[in-house]
Amino acid sequence: MLRPSVLAFTFLAAGLAFASPAAAEEKFIIVQSTTSTQNAGLYDHLLPIYHEKTGVEVRVVAVGTGQAIKNAQNCDGDVLFVHAKPAEEKFVAEGYGVTRADVMYNDFVIVGPAADPAGVAGSKDVSGALERIKQAEAPFASRGDDSGTHKAELALWQASGIDPTADSGGWYRETGSGMGATLNSAVGMGAYALTDRASWIAFGNKGSFGIAVEGDQRLFNQYGVILVSPENCPNVKAELGQQFIDWLLSDAGQSAIADFKQHGQQLFFPNAKTS
């Protein structure tokens, strides 16, 4: 017959067996990333190539750009890979990062329902389109989460002289969640939304939605990479992190990015300045 102590020991042993670190003593780095690159599937394409070449495992934590920067400020990552240039430059200027380098770009698009209640489909003028959405009080789903896309969206409204947050809760709806969740909400509500093109192409729940506005210069979306400062964060794996950054910016890395396609379309365009 089992005694309580035996039972307790069994639980404990089981717990420890489960909890013991299973991961091999493999070399790895942690990349704090925006969600669009992960949702589009870029890492599933790039990381196996990199691992094959170097044996280093890259662990990606994909959160909004705002949160990724905060996590990196807390030293919870070795490399920051996001898309909000002003915030990234501030990150470096404040000593949290070493240097910032352009990696690649794509563009933002405004997607909307086939019914097009604001009549903006086919437009190349972002400001005009936003103006008409406000006039029509057509629903617009915003990320509202301090992400790179959210920052870009707010900048576009500002450039158009509109303060949409005054109508928050009316036609302007801040979801406070990630790109995918916001697109799901937009499709559900029949609302327009700003998204990066890669996320849109990879998105699987488009419904009747299509791209309404694209091609404006101001819709440019630059991705940058930064090594978290080992001076600020002694635990940062500076050498391994820098090695990954160097590879991303190298000819090999840049062409790997260019090779990545979904539904036959290239999603990210390499534009590193070195090499």
Partner 1 sequence: MQDFGAAFGQAFALILSGDADLLEIIGLSLRVTFSAVALACLVGLPLGAALAVGRFPGRMAAVTVVNALMGLPPVVVGLGVYLMLSSAGPLGVLQLLYTPSAMIIAQAILVAPIITALTRQVVEDLHGEYDELLRAMGARRLATIATLLWDARYSLMTTALAGLGRALGEVGAIIIVGGNINHVTRVMTTTIALETSKGNLSLALGLGIILVGLALLVNGLVMGLRSSAARLAYA
User: Nearest to residue 115, comparing CAs of 203, 198, 189?
Assistant: 189
Q: In angstroms, give the least distance from the CB of 211 to partner 1.
A: 15
The residue (of 30 and 154) whose beta carbon lies closer to partner 1 is 30
Contacts of the segment 236-243: beta carbons below 8 A, 24+ positions apart: 236/75, 236/78, 237/29, 237/78, 238/78, 240/27, 240/28, 240/29, 240/56, 240/78, 241/29, 241/78, 241/79, 243/54, 243/56
Please, are residues 229 and 236 in contact by the beta-carbon 8 Å criterion?
Answer: yes
Whole-angstrom distance, CA of residue 42 vs CA of residue 149: 17
The residue (of 56 and 233) whose beta carbon lies closer to partner 1 is 233
The residue (of 13 and 159) whose beta carbon lies closer to partner 1 is 13
Q: In angstroms, give the least distance from the CB of 262 to partner 1.
A: 11
Q: In angstroms, give the least distance from the CB of 15 to partner 1.
A: 3
E strands, the chain, are 28-33, 57-62, 79-82, 97-112, 140-142, 172-174, 192-196, 210-213, 220-228, 261-262, 265-266, 269-270
Q: In angstroms, give the least distance from the CB of 267 to partner 1.
A: 13
The residue (of 70 and 218) whose beta carbon lies closer to partner 1 is 70
Q: Which residues bind partner 1 (CB under 8 A)?
A: 3-5, 7-8, 11-12, 14-15, 18-19, 21-23, 30, 35, 38-39, 43-44, 59-62, 71, 73-76, 178-181, 183-184, 202-206, 233, 235
The residue (of 76 and 116) whose beta carbon lies closer to partner 1 is 76
Q: In angstroms, give the least distance from the CB of 183 to partner 1.
A: 6
